[in-house]
Amino acid sequence: MLTWLKNRLQRNGLTAYITHPVCLQHNMGVGHPECPERLVAIKDQLMAAQIYDSLHEVEAPEVTEQQLARVHPPRYVEYIEACAPTVGTFRMDPDTAMAPGTLPAARRAAGAVIKAVELVCEDKAPNAFCAIRPPGHHAEHDKAMGFCFFNNIAVGIAHALSTYKFERIAVIDFDVHHGNGTEDIFRDDPRVMMVSIFQHPFYPYCGDNPAGPNMVNVPLKAGSTGREFREVVENVWLPSLHDFQPQMIFISAGFDAHREDDMGSLGLVEADYEWVTRHLMQIADQYADGRIVSVLEGGYDLSSLARSVTAHVKVLSDG
Closest CA to 134 of 107, 115, 156: 107
Closest CA to 4 of 283, 313, 236: 283
Closest CA to 79 of 68, 87, 94, 88: 68
Task: Tell me the catalytic residues.
Answer: 138
Cα–Cα distance for residue pair 112/22, rounded to 1 Å:
12
In angstroms, the Cα distances linking 191 to 117, 118, 233, 244 are: 16, 19, 21, 10
Is 202 in contact with 179 (CB distance < 8 Å)?
Answer: no
Closest CA to 267 of 279, 258, 276: 258
Closest CA to 302 of 45, 48, 24, 19: 45
Half-sphere exposure (Cβ direction) of 266: Cα atoms closer than 13 Å: 29
Closest CA to 226 of 272, 270, 280: 272
Which H or E run contains 213? none
Handedness of CA 20, 25, 30, 33 (dihedral sign): negative
The maximal CA–CA distance of the chain, rounded, in angstroms, is 58
